Every structure is written in C-alpha cells, then in structure tokens.
C-alpha cells in the first residue's frame, strides 16, 4: 500500500476483506463491530498462521531435539523478535504471558516475592516495606489496580492514587505532590480503556525517575493503536495483550528492561524455566525464559507474530491517524446528542478512537441491547474500571471503540442509532 498519512476509504475496504467475520449480518443488519477495545477481530493471515502451525508445525518448543521441535522453537522465537521490534524492545525483554493481566501480576508478585526475601541479592531492589508507597491512578483498569492492592497487603506498603479531573485527564499537579521520596512504584495506563485519554507518559516517567521509583505501563490500549517505542518511553515494565491487536486470545506479553527482568523473581514456577533442580532447591533460567514456566501457547504466539506482520505492513502510524479521525467523529457525534453525556476528553481534544457515554434515564445494558438490535456491537458495563465510573457518578457506561477496519459510515450508523435510544424508551419527551 502507498504510504499516506491516513488510510483511504479504498484501503479500508481492502482491509475489511481480510476479516471474514465482518461480512456477516446480525439481527438482519450488517454487522457494525465497535468493540475492538475489548477484543479485536482477526485477519485471514493470522487465522491461517495459527491453522498452518497446528496442522504442520506443532511440537513442544525448547524441549525436543527432533526436527519438528526445532522448527516450532524457531517460529516461537521469531514471533518474539517480531513483537519485540514492534514495541521498541530487545528480544530478551519480552516474556510471553497468557494476557496483560498475567503480565502485570508477574511484576506485582515479583515485588511480593522479593519483599519475602526471594531472588537473592539482585532482587532486593524490589523489596517493599511499611512506609514505602505504590502510586496508581483513578482511571486504571482493575488489572493494574488489584495486583497493587495485593502488593500493599503483602508488604505493608501504602497504595496511593493520582486523581482524575472533571475533563477526564490525570491531575498532574496532584501527581507532583503524590509522587515523592517514599514512592517506589508508579503504575499507570498509557490510554484509558474507558475515557480514551492518552496519558503523558514522559511526564509521569520523569516524576518517577526523579524519586527513583519503578514505572509499570499498561499498554493494552496503546500497543494496538499507537506507534510504541518502550525504550524511548523509558518505562521499566509494560504489559499488553495479543487479542486486542489482531492476534488470538490466550497470549500477552510482559516487557521489562533487561537488567530488571533478569533480577525480578518469577511467580509462576515449574518446568522449562530452570537450570538446576534438587529436592530442596532450584535455580532459574535468565529472563525471559524464567517467566515462561510450563507448556507455552505456541500457536497463539505464532499468531501474535502474524498479527504484528499485518499491522507493520499497514503502518501503525497510519492506523493511529485514521483512529484519531474516528475518535473525533465519535466524540463530536456523541456530545451533540441531547441527553447523552460523553465521558472523558471533549471533542477536539486528543483522544483514542473510542468513546464512553451515559444516556440519561437509560441503563447502559439497555442502550447496548437497542444498538445490538441494529447489528451494532458495543461494550456495556463498568469496563473493569469501577473507581473511574464512581468518580463520574455512574455505575456503568456504554463504550464504542474503533480499529483499522472501522469505517466512517459505521460511526455514523452508530450515532444515528444512539440518537434514537431515549425516544425508544420514552425518556426525555
């Protein structure tokens, strides 16, 4: 494809041809899939890569000495190289997990194990104690909040939170006051999975660096949609999921700076991640292998590599540019509908290609049902972010999220359907 700033309508039509699921009808209407923030659809190239592996390449990786096992191991490690390069990391800095939640837990429980004396001298840097502080934010997905609650409970450290402003952004003035000499960890999302807010990673990393704290980035909503260079962002750890970026479910990635990943104690132990085992003691492999205990999801890893190939071919800068346009179209359209409250940054403000909103007098689940009757798939509920919803005085919201295969016409169809929801329920007459 020609390199242009934004994907053209012709190119998007070509892209959509690669996604068979988008061709179906739902409730008598053409499917409008606006739930990519929850999970993306898979192109034929990814589906084929997984099937071809299972049919012709399947074997245990890093174990067998036979030809088939060697070939499977090569594909497994080639995928690691692809994913690492895609996010600006070295091969040794990417460990496979089953999802981003597991990746964040790997870091969190690494701190817990280090605090319990595990991991030797190298791991002491991660040990926490009463008086230490862990800082997260009020907008976090539960996957980047609950694990840190567990760390605090196990270690006696104090958990603090950067608050949200009324505009749906982090209160950076408050952050400057909260992140201080007692702060040991700052864990935050790159892009809010509810508000679409794109956080200033550089400013938050600078605050953490200034007090010697570790940074943990939830990149689930950025890795699929924005060009990502984890080295340039200078974060210590990061997590992202394959299924949100065209890959199969059941595969995610933990990034850690090489020297930190080597020092962090593992929390899932067993076979394939060891060097020596006696009845009383075990020595672990270096990272990333020590975080990959047991049989790995090799087919999913191969699919992840194929997904990265697909996105690289399109150009993530172009995907980001297109989703920026869609995000503004969604935000402006939702804000213009009477009785519908847009959550997060106002139209015209930088945001991801998603919107969440509250329809006055209509529960989010009912909103979703009306849209589904029109063949429009959206997400409803608290989106694993209850504190965020509580901050804005709602228990649930409806979210529409786009991706590279979303068209402007689909956005307009969604907005048209949304504009009739309150009338459908006889609200606001």
Residue pLDDT, tens place only, 15-53 = 999 999 999 999 999 999 999 999 999 999 999 999 999
Q: Let me know if 220 is a catalytic residue.
A: no
- Name the nearest CA neighbour of 331 among 318, 340, 322: 340
Question: Whole-model pTM?
Answer: 0.96
- Name the nearest CA neighbour of 399 among 238, 196, 250, 220: 196
Residue 417 maps to which CATH number?
A: 3.90.1150.10
Does any domain span residue 189? Answer: yes
Report whether 349 contacts 198 (CB < 8 A).
no
* pLDDT at residue number 428: 73
262 lies in the same domain as 398: no
> Any residues with CB less than 8 A from the CB of 353 and at least 6 apart, and which?
196, 225, 322, 323, 324, 326, 327, 330, 401, 402, 403, 406
Does any domain span residue 429? Answer: no
* pLDDT per residue as tens digits for the range 279-290: 999 999 999 999
- Name the nearest CA neighbour of 342 among 408, 415, 406, 402: 415
* pLDDT at residue number 64: 79
* pLDDT at residue number 1: 37
58 lies in the same domain as 38: no
Does any domain span residue 1? Answer: no
Q: How far apart are CA 77 and CA 93, in angstroms?
A: 12
* pLDDT at residue number 2: 40
Q: Mean of the pLDDT values across residues 312-320?
A: 97
Beta pairing class for 214-218 and 183-189: parallel
* pLDDT per residue as tens digits for the range 73-88: 999 999 999 999 999 9
Q: What angle do CA 185, 104, 229 make, to 5 degrees?
A: 80
**How many domains is the chain built from?**
2
270 lies in the same domain as 342: no
Q: Is the pLDDT of residue 344 over 60?
A: yes
Q: Is the pLDDT of residue 147 over 70?
A: yes
| 141: helix, strand or coil | coil
Does any domain span residue 134? Answer: yes
Instruction: Give me the residues paired with residue 95 across strands.
Output: 254
118 lies in the same domain as 213: yes
> Any residues with CB less than 8 A from the CB of 285 and at least 6 apart, and which?
273, 274, 275
* pLDDT at residue number 429: 60
Q: Mean of the pLDDT values across residues 193-212?
A: 98
- Name the nearest CA neighbour of 100 among 265, 267, 216: 216
148 lies in the same domain as 188: yes
Q: If 0-12 CB within 10 Å is exposed, 13-18 middle and 19+ buried, where does residue 10 land? A: exposed
251 lies in the same domain as 387: no
Instruction: Give me the residues paired with residue 400 across strands.
Output: 355
294 lies in the same domain as 400: no
Residue 281 maps to which CATH number?
A: 3.40.640.10
Domain that includes residue 213, residue range: 49-312
288 lies in the same domain as 366: no
Helices (H), 230-315: 230-233, 258-263, 298-314
Final residue of a structural domain among 260, 278, 312: 312
Final residue of a structural domain among 270, 289, 312: 312
pLDDT category of residue 65 using cuts at 50, 70 and 90: confident
Final residue of a structural domain among 312, 343, 368: 312
Catalytic annotation, pick one of 12, 26, 146, 384: 384
76 lies in the same domain as 178: yes
Handedness of CA 174, 199, 142, 238 (dihedral sign): negative
* pLDDT at residue number 365: 98
* pLDDT per residue as tens digits for the range 242-291: 999 999 999 999 999 999 999 999 999 999 999 999 999 999 999 999 99
> Any residues with CB less than 8 A from the CB of 116 and at least 6 apart, and which?
154
- Name the nearest CA neighbour of 400 among 362, 348, 347, 364: 364
115 lies in the same domain as 101: yes
95 lies in the same domain as 30: no
Does any domain span residue 4? Answer: no
DSSP state of 247: S
Q: If 0-12 CB within 10 Å is exposed, 13-18 middle and 19+ buried, where does residue 103 land? A: buried
Q: How far apart are CA 307 and CA 248, in angstroms?
A: 9
198 lies in the same domain as 231: yes
pLDDT category of residue 5 using cuts at 50, 70 and 90: confident
């Amino acid at each position: 494809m020609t390199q242009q700033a934004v994907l053209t309508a012709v190119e998007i039509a070509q892209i959509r041809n690669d996604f068979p699921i988008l061709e179906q009808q739902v409730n008598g209407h053409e499917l409008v899939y606006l739930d990519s923030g929850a999970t993306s659809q898979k192109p034929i190239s990814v589906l084929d890569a997984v099937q071809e592996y299972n049919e012709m390449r399947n074997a245990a990786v890093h174990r067998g000495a036979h030809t088939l096992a060697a070939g499977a191991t090569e594909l497994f490690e080639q995928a690691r190289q692809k994913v690492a390069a895609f996010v600006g990391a070295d091969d040794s800095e990417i460990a496979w997990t089953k999802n981003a939640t597991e990746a964040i837990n790997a870091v969190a429980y690494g701190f817990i194990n280090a605090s319990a004396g595990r991991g030797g001298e190298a791991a002491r840097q991660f040990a926490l104690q009463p008086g230490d502080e862990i800082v997260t934010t009020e907008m976090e997905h539960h996957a980047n909040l609950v694990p840190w609650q567990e760390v605090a409970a196990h270690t006696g450290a104090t958990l603090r939170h950067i608050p949200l402003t009324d505009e749906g952004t982090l209160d950076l003035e408050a952050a400057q006051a909260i992140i201080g000499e007692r702060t040991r960890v700052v864990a935050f999302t790159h892009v809010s999975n509810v508000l679409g807010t794109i956080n200033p990673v550089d400013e938050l990393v600078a605050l953490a660096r200034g007090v010697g704290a570790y940074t943990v980035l939830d990149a689930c909503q950025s890795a699929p949609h924005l060009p990502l260079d984890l080295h340039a962002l200078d974060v210590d750890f990061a997590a992202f999921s394959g299924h949100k970026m065209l890959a199969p479910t059941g595969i995610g990635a933990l990034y850690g700076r090489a020297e930190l990943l080597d020092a962090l104690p593992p929390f899932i132990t067993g076979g394939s991640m060891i060097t020596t085992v006696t009845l009383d003691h075990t020595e672990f492999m270096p990272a990333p292998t020590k975080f990959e205990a047991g049989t790995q999801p090799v087919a999913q890893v191969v699919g992840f590599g194929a997904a990265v190939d697909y996105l690289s071919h399109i150009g993530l800068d172009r995907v980001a540019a297109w989703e920026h346009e869609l995000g503004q179209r969604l935000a402006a359209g939702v804000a213009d509908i009477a009785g519908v409250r847009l959550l997060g940054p106002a139209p015209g403000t930088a945001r991801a290609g998603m919107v969440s909103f509250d329809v006055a007098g209509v529960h989010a689940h009912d909103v979703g049902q009306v849209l589904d009757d029109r063949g429009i798939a959206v997400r409803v509920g608290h989106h694993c972010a209850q504190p965020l919803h509580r901050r804005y005085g709602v228990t649930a919201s409806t979210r529409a999220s786009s991706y590279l295969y979303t068209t402007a016409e689909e956005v307009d169809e969604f907005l048209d359907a949304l504009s009739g929801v309150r009338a459908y329920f006889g609200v606001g007459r």
